[in-house]
């Protein structure tokens, strides 16, 4: 097993990384933590004009042996790599059972204007979403459905919260993300970019199945998803071109946010594939 080169939890590097558990430090330094081999792998593979999103990697001796190729790839990408004691990595980690790898990454978000300039066909807008696990899961669903972007309004949770990053399972690095956009500005911009804005709400006056049957889902669409507990406020619903509910065919009272988002995004993705497709890589 490789020896630990960083053994003190009080070292400057470990202390600086631990600070990123707090939103204020993340915002100030524009850095966040990504844990586990999948997130670290995607942070190495993806980047922008400044290079890979991963800038620093801490690995326990056991994880360094098990994931030697990741450490090599991190070094090749220009990241600073340290084999650290288990207590050092555990102190940085935000999970109950650390996986032995914690990366420090640069912020990935892009200006909302850049999202609009790409004329997106499928967008998930998280308005008033406060649970970080739900935010990360919706982002993962959007990525899987082939969405072009995710927008988090200024009333939503910090997408760099460690729980949100973990729940995205690497998808945070895959598609454009805009943050801190007022919901009215988000809607106006997306409409101007050619999107139909649809609010997902269990009390919506339109049924998703009916919208699909009527051929309304094949055009560029921005879905607005609301708060986990109380949905979307009326002032947000009123901004949408349509308020659509996912039909409940059985006896369940409702669907949770992430499940409803997955159903809605895949419905749009399926409809759009018949009229030219969703996201185009490259």
CA distance 191 to 207: 22
Indicate whether 203 and 242 sit together in one domain: yes
- The number of folded domains in the chain is 2
Last residue of a domain, one of 106, 123, 143: 106
For residue 275, what pLDDT is reported?
A: 55
Q: 227: which strand partners?
A: 231
- Given a contact cutoff of 8 angstroms between Cβ atoms, the answer to whether 157 and 129 are in contact is yes
Evaluate whether residue 56 is within a structural domain.
Answer: yes
Evaluate whether residue 1 is within a structural domain.
Answer: no
Segments in the chain below pLDDT 50: 277, 280-282
Indicate whether 240 and 119 sit together in one domain: yes
Indicate whether 155 and 41 sit together in one domain: no
Could you tell me where the DSSP H helices lie in the chain? 12-19, 23-29, 37-45, 61-66, 68-76, 86-92, 112-117, 132-144, 162-168, 183-192, 208-213, 234-237, 257-273
Indicate whether 147 and 48 sit together in one domain: no
Indicate whether 79 and 117 sit together in one domain: no
Coil, helix or strand for 107? coil
For the stretch 254-275, pLDDT in tens is: 899 999 999 999 999 999 987 5
| β-sheet with 122-126: strand ranges across | 177-181, 149-153, 122-126, 221-225, 196-200, 242-245, 206-207
Domain that holds residue 145: 112-273
Last residue of a domain, one of 106, 133, 156: 106
Indicate whether 101 and 116 sit together in one domain: no
Indicate whether 119 and 39 sit together in one domain: no
Indicate whether 37 and 118 sit together in one domain: no
For residue 203, what pLDDT is reported?
A: 87
Evaluate whether residue 2 is within a structural domain.
Answer: no
Indicate whether 94 and 202 sit together in one domain: no
Indicate whether 199 and 150 sit together in one domain: yes
Count CA atoms within 13 Å of residue 274 on its CB side: 11
Evaluate whether residue 134 is within a structural domain.
Answer: yes
Evaluate whether residue 253 is within a structural domain.
Answer: yes
Evaluate whether residue 280 is within a structural domain.
Answer: no
CATH number for the domain spanning 201: value is 3.40.1280.10
Last residue of a domain, one of 72, 106, 140: 106
Indicate whether 145 and 228 sit together in one domain: yes
Indicate whether 35 and 150 sit together in one domain: no
């Amino acid at each position: 097993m490789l020896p630990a080169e960083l053994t003190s939890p009080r070292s400057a590097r470990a202390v600086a990384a631990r600070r990123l558990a707090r939103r204020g430090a993340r915002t100030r330094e524009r850095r966040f933590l990504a844990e586990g081999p999948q997130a670290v792998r995607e942070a190495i593979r993806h980047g922008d004009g400044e290079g890979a999103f991963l800038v620093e990697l801490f690995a326990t001796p056991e994880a360094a042996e098990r994931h030697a190729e990741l450490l090599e790839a991190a070094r090749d990408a220009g990241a600073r790599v340290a084999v650290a004691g288990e207590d050092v990595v555990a102190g940085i980690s935000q999970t109950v059972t650390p996986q032995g790898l914690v990366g420090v990454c640069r912020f990935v978000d892009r200006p909302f204007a850049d999202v609009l300039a790409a004329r997106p066909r499928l967008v998930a807008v998280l308005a008033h979403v406060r649970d970080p696990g739900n935010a990360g899961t919706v982002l993962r669903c959007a990525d899987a459905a082939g969405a072009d972007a995710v927008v988090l309004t200024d009333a939503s949770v910090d997408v760099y919260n460690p729980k949100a990053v973990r729940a995205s399972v690497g998808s945070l690095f895959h598609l454009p993300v805009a943050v801190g956009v007022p919901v009215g500005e988000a809607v106006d911009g997306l409409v101007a970019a050619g999107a139909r804005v649809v609010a997902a709400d269990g009390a919506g006056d339109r049924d998703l199945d009916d919208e699909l049957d009527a051929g309304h889902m094949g055009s560029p669409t921005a879905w607005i998803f609301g708060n986990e507990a109380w949905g979307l406020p009326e002032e947000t619903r009123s901004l949408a071109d349509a308020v659509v509910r996912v039909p409940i065919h059985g006896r369940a009272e409702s669907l949770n946010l992430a499940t409803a988002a997955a159903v809605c995004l895949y419905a749009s993705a399926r409809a759009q594939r018949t009229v030219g497709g969703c996201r185009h890589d490259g």
